[in-house]
Amino acid sequence: MTSSWEFLICFSWFIVGSHFSSVVEVNMEGNGYITLDLRSDNIATTKDDITFSFKTFQASGLLLHSSGSQGDYINIELVHGRIRLTIDLGSTRTMAGKHTVILGDNLSDNKWHEVKVEREKRILVLQVDELRNQTTTPGSFVSLDLDRFLYVGGLDKSSSGDYGMMTDSFNGCLKKFYFDNKDIFHGAKDPDLQNYETHGLVRFFCPDVEYVPVHFPAPGTYIRLSKRSPKNFTVDLFFRTYDGNGVLAYKQTTNNARVYLKLASGSIELQIQVRTDKPIRIRQGDDLNDGMWHHVIAGVTRGELWLKLDARPRLRHENPWLSNIGEFRNRIYIGYEAQHEGFVGCMHNIKLNGKLVNIPHLSGSKISGAVINRCGISSKCFPNPCRNGGRCFQTWRAFSCDCQGTFYHGARCEIPLYRATCQEYKDLGMGQDAYCQVDPDGTGPLGAFTVMCNMSASKAAITVINHDKQGKHRVPFGATNLTNRYFQRFTYGSDIGSIRALIQGSSSCKQYIKYDCYNSKLLNSPVGPEHVQWLSSTAVPQNYWGGAPAGSNKCKCGVTKTCEDPSKSCNCDSDNDNRWRQDSGE
């Protein structure tokens, strides 16, 4: 007999629940932003971690800002296609805490870029994609104290303060935005979290945007198109550039009329000219070579010109003379015309007579030097290469510095316009006494100020700094009562820092001081205490008088033993005998 055993094996499947946090993408279109209220949940950290990714084809925009009532703040901005991080952990009277790091280039390419900020006390690391920069913040403060609002993507203009940042909102997409483990976008999307708020147009998805730029890297580059429209010509496009001159579009007519849409000294201009006749033109805008995208629509018919720039109203010019220009030819040049300077910069979304040009499908014969699907322009003026407050201007080739009003000259405003001392003016051949501007610290932060240059008193020039109490000044009645004090403040023609710099660059420094007395003691010698003191430049009371060494408790006559009363150290310390006396010296 056999027995059969059946075995039943049960397998139990264990399902482990896991929470997968989906990535929240946010789209902002220039007027939207998100806030996190920090007033009841302050940030006071010695270590910070901030990460996010962004995608845009706009060159500039605010990404993050937050500040505190103690003066601390942090900004992260996209400026001319670069990331600029500015942080201030605290400033003192002698040390500014503001610290700026700039990293990356051409980041406004409509591709995703990752930004990471790591801080531990004063060690600051900024990483943009694969680029990494480590610096140390100035001063001794190590804590970032934020107790107002955290702004992402934009800013309430009334709360901007003086943080040296852009206030233009970000226009593009953001994702994975974390500030010290706070998931900002999940918080903003959760209706139960009351400390988050969205403002303006904020959409929780990132739309696909058709963006095919054309880069014109030099004045002679262009694309050549053909569009049959004998009765009218319209062009609609976006452009960005750092050069204030150049032809954007050009077309001819059968009567040799030439139509130009061009930049002229930073303004957009529509111009039509027949042979050598005086041209008809209309223009709009200023400083359009700021590296930002601008939208222009222009049109010409045989009755009028019209031009529209960005959000400005359309500008029209009717002229019966236009009826004689003939029919428009088919060929159109974008970015070039042989007799004028060509456009250098980028364009996208080009439309001719209302129809979008299919840029990616243009044949090679229609493209001369232009680069499709790339915008490679960079600002030569950010960060500013001009020193000492000089203004930077650029063309497609190079930048230049305007040093007007800075007291400096040179290619980068690096050379002081004024000499450091009067002796340097004398060495240049100046022989007459005159008021001159001196700049004691040269290329340093201190400005120039006015002094009197005494050139004839000795072989060496003497630099005289004036103040507002020169000459005799009466001590008012009532100061004879020793319970009262009389204090006289001297205001010099410049700040004390500039004067100290001048002293350091001089071989000697002296000041003449005189005290006229009538039954009034000066140092009350020989036993004291002194009745009169003067304060040094560092506000330390001094108990000696002009002509005597420091700390001697004497006047000049006490050193030379010529005082009227030999037992005293100052003439004014003589007994009250109703006589005027004087103590003076350098």
Q: Which amino acid belongs to residue 283?
A: R
* CA-based max dimension of the chain: 151
Per-residue pLDDT averaged across 450-476, rounded?
A: 85
pLDDT value at position 442? 75
The pLDDT tens digits of the residues spanning 550-566 come to 989 999 999 999 999 99
| Chain CA centroid to CA 62, Å | 14
Q: In this model, does residue 7 exceed pLDDT 50?
A: no
3 state SS of 62 = strand
Per-residue pLDDT averaged across 293-314, rounded?
A: 95
Residue 346, beta-bridge partner list: 215, 240
Give the whole-angstrom CA distance, residue 350 versus residue 348. Answer: 6
- CA-nearest of 305, 183, 166 to 234 is 305
pLDDT value at position 281? 93
pLDDT value at position 161? 64
Q: In this model, does residue 13 exceed pLDDT 60?
A: no
- CA-nearest of 210, 154, 124 to 33 is 154
CA distances from 371 to 133, 216, 334, 368, 550 (A): 31, 7, 13, 9, 75
pLDDT value at position 357? 95
Q: In this model, does residue 548 exceed pLDDT 60?
A: yes
Per-residue pLDDT averaged across 414-440, rounded?
A: 87
pLDDT value at position 459? 81
Task: List, in sequence order, every beta strand (DSSP E) within 131-231.
Answer: 131-136, 144-146, 149-152, 171-179, 182-183, 196-199, 202-203, 214-216, 222-226
Q: In this model, does residue 5 exceed pLDDT 90?
A: no
Q: In this model, does residue 481 exceed pLDDT 70?
A: no
Q: In this model, does residue 222 exceed pLDDT 80?
A: yes
End-to-end CA distance of the chain: 135
DSSP of 385-454, one letter per residue? ---TTPEEEE-SS-EEEE-TTTTEESTTS-EESSBSSHHHHHHTT--S-EEEEE-TTTTSS---EEEEEE
The pLDDT tens digits of the residues spanning 316-338 come to 999 888 888 889 999 999 999 98
Give the whole-angstrom CA distance, residue 222 versus residue 234. Answer: 18
Give the whole-angstrom CA distance, residue 348 versus residue 359. Answer: 9
pLDDT value at position 3? 39
Give the whole-angstrom CA distance, residue 265 versus residue 342. Answer: 13
**Res. 162 pLDDT band, cuts 50 70 90:** low
Global confidence as pTM: 0.75
Angle at 216 between CA 213 and CA 217, to 5 degrees: 125
Residues 6+ apart with CB under 8 A from 458: none
DSSP state, residue 383: S
Per-residue pLDDT averaged across 308-321, rounded?
A: 94
3 state SS of 145 = strand
b/e code 364-403 from CB counts within 10 Å (16+ = b): eeebebbeeeebebebbbbebbbbbebebbbbbeebbbeb
Q: In this model, does residue 101 exceed pLDDT 80?
A: yes
pLDDT value at position 12? 34
Q: In this model, does residue 8 exceed pLDDT 50?
A: no
- Are 151 and 64 contacting, i.e. CB atoms less than 8 angstroms apart? yes
Angle at 29 between CA 28 and CA 31, to 5 degrees: 90
**Res. 247 pLDDT band, cuts 50 70 90:** very high
Q: Which amino acid belongs to residue 315?
A: L
Residues 6+ apart with CB under 8 A from 88: 71, 72, 73, 74, 97, 98, 99
Task: List, in sequence order, every beta strand (DSSP E) within 97-165.
Answer: 98-103, 113-120, 123-128, 131-136, 144-146, 149-152
Average pLDDT of the chain is 89
- CA-nearest of 203, 149, 201 to 26 is 203
Per-residue pLDDT averaged across 507-528, rounded?
A: 88
pLDDT value at position 483? 60
Lowest mean pLDDT among 375-379, 430-434, 544-548: 430-434
Per-residue pLDDT averaged across 511-528, rounded?
A: 89
3 state SS of 273 = strand
**Res. 437 pLDDT band, cuts 50 70 90:** confident
pLDDT value at position 477? 60
- Are 466 and 493 contacting, i.e. CB atoms less than 8 angstroms apart? yes
Peptide bond into 529 cis (omega under 30): yes
Residues 6+ apart with CB under 8 A from 516: 472, 580, 581, 582
Stated as kind and residue range, the H or E segment containing 501 is helix 496-504
More confident residue, 81 or 531: 81
Per-residue pLDDT averaged across 223-227, rounded?
A: 93
Burial (Cβ within 10 Å: 0-12, 13-18, ≥19) of residue 490? exposed
- Are 234 and 354 contacting, i.e. CB atoms less than 8 angstroms apart? yes
The pLDDT tens digits of the residues spanning 335-370 come to 999 888 999 999 999 999 999 999 999 988 899 999
Q: In this model, does residue 302 exceed pLDDT 90?
A: no
**Res. 431 pLDDT band, cuts 50 70 90:** confident
